[in-house]
Amino acid sequence: MRLALLFVLLLPACLAKPFHQQGLFDFMLEDEGSADMPPTDDPVISGFGPVCPFRCQCHLRVVQCSDLGLEKVPRDLPPDTTLLDLQNNKITEIKEGDFKNLKNLHALILVNNKISKISPLAFAPLKKLERLYLSKNNLKELPENMPKSLQEIRAHENEISKLRKAVFNGLNQVIVLELGTNPIKSSGIENGAFQGMKRLSYIRIADTNITSIPKGLPPSLTELHLDGNKISKIDAEGLSGLTNLAKLGLSFNSISSVENGSLNNVPHLRELHLNNNELVRVPGGLGEHKYIQVVYLHNNKIASVGINDFCPLGYNTKKASYSGPLIASALGIKESSFKAVRDKTHCKDDFKLPTHLSVTD
């Protein structure tokens, strides 16, 4: 009798298929994965169970919950979710259990919320997380215990003033680190903070308050973007060990000098942006540089350009020729001085006005 009653009670629930949205991201032909909700051994008994949160869209393991005015992370997210987009909401805090069960999550987008607190255990279940986007929040520090699987961390436009070594400890898969528009000071960056990130290839610390190139950057770095800071000079030490660096962005600082030999430390540099600084002469070492192809020097205080400032003496030993815009507009420079450069240098073939060398006032 009791059993019969139970049966009657459960019957309608069994007839009702678990709710799932269909037809949404058909185009995410991602694959084999079933579009249906995962089978739930713990059905809707407690609350609503793991269905797609109301107003979100869930399909093929992408959960899209942006622009909903959410004040917290929705509960009962489908456990097979690989991408969770929560951008443009009003989330203030990431709590310990917010991502429990999401062990397949690859990308977590929390951009443009009001997050000021992240529980140290919140990310613990995310064993496969590769991308963590925390930009436009109110974080004072990067969270500790970020998943070791991370390849990309973005925390642009927060209130981060300190970068501690402990935060990056063990994050040896990180390739991209973007920390721009934060009140970071040079003194707030712990010595060797980035050293453990053995795969780090791209770092951007733009529009902060740092006054020098951070020390102890890993040799794996291919791009270093430090524009819009308060850096006043480049010394050789700042770039030492960066043998793989290909792109260096230092525009909009107050750099007045580049120590001789600095560019020797970055032998594979291809692109150098030093526009909008206080330079009075073309940085030394460009002429001997083998791979450099793009140099931005406009909006500095360079009054004259030497014949050998850009191109090597003697036979052309450059392995790559200048391409793209070599913009060298500076107050006082006359186009004629570039003509002199052009006519007398040995890399003149690659050095043509106006396409490769632009001069503007």
Partner 1 sequence: MEEDDDDDDDDNSLFPTTEPIIPLIPFDLFPICPFGCQCYVRVVHCSDLGLTSIPRNIPPDTRMIDLQNNKIKEVKENDLQGLISLYALALNNNKISKIHPKAFQPTKKLRRLYLSHNQLTEIPTNLPKTLAELRIHANKVKKIHKDAFKGMTSLHVLEMSANPLDNDGIEPGAFEGVNIYHIRIAEAKLTSIPKELPSSLLELHLDDNKITAIELEDFNRYKDLQRLGLGNNKIKDVENGSFANIPSIREIHLEKNKLKKVPPGLPQLKYLQVVFLHSNHIAKLGVNDFCPTGGRKKKALYSGISLFNNPVKYWEVQPSTFRCILARNSVQLGNFLN
CA dihedral 300→303→308→311, nearest 10 degrees, is 30
CB of residue 44 to partner 1, shortest distance in Å: 4
d(CA 155, CA 136): 7
Residue 122, classed as helix, strand or coil, is coil
CB of residue 266 to partner 1, shortest distance in Å: 11
Q: Which residues contact 21 (CB under 8 A, 6 or more apart)?
A: 52, 57, 58, 59
CB of residue 347 to partner 1, shortest distance in Å: 15
CB of residue 346 to partner 1, shortest distance in Å: 19
DSSP-assigned beta bridge partners for residue 118: 94
d(CA 47, CA 99): 17
User: Contact residues for partner 1 (CB under 8 A)?
Assistant: 12-13, 15-16, 19, 21-30, 35, 44-49, 54-55, 57, 62, 66-67, 82-83, 88, 106-107, 111-112, 130-131, 135-136, 151, 154, 156-157, 175-176, 178, 180-181, 199, 201-202, 204, 207, 220, 222-223, 225, 227, 244, 246-247, 249, 268, 270-271, 273, 291, 294, 319-320
Residue-wise over 208-224: b if at least 16 C-beta within 10 A, else e? bebebbbbebbeebbbb
> ∠ CA 332-334-335 to the nearest 5 degrees?
150
CB of residue 254 to partner 1, shortest distance in Å: 18
Which of 66/256 has CB closer to partner 1? 66
CB of residue 334 to partner 1, shortest distance in Å: 27
Which of 27/315 has CB closer to partner 1? 27
d(CA 203, CA 236): 19
Which of 221/341 has CB closer to partner 1? 221
Residue 249, classed as helix, strand or coil, is strand
CB of residue 332 to partner 1, shortest distance in Å: 26
Which of 135/262 has CB closer to partner 1? 135
CB of residue 359 to partner 1, shortest distance in Å: 20
Which of 225/342 has CB closer to partner 1? 225
Contact at 8 Å (CB) between 185 and 209? yes
CA dihedral 38→42→45→51, nearest 10 degrees, is -20
Which of 66/337 has CB closer to partner 1? 66
Find the distance separating the first CA and the last CA of the chain, reported in whole Å. 93
Which of 28/307 has CB closer to partner 1? 28
Which of 107/353 has CB closer to partner 1? 107
d(CA 191, CA 193): 5
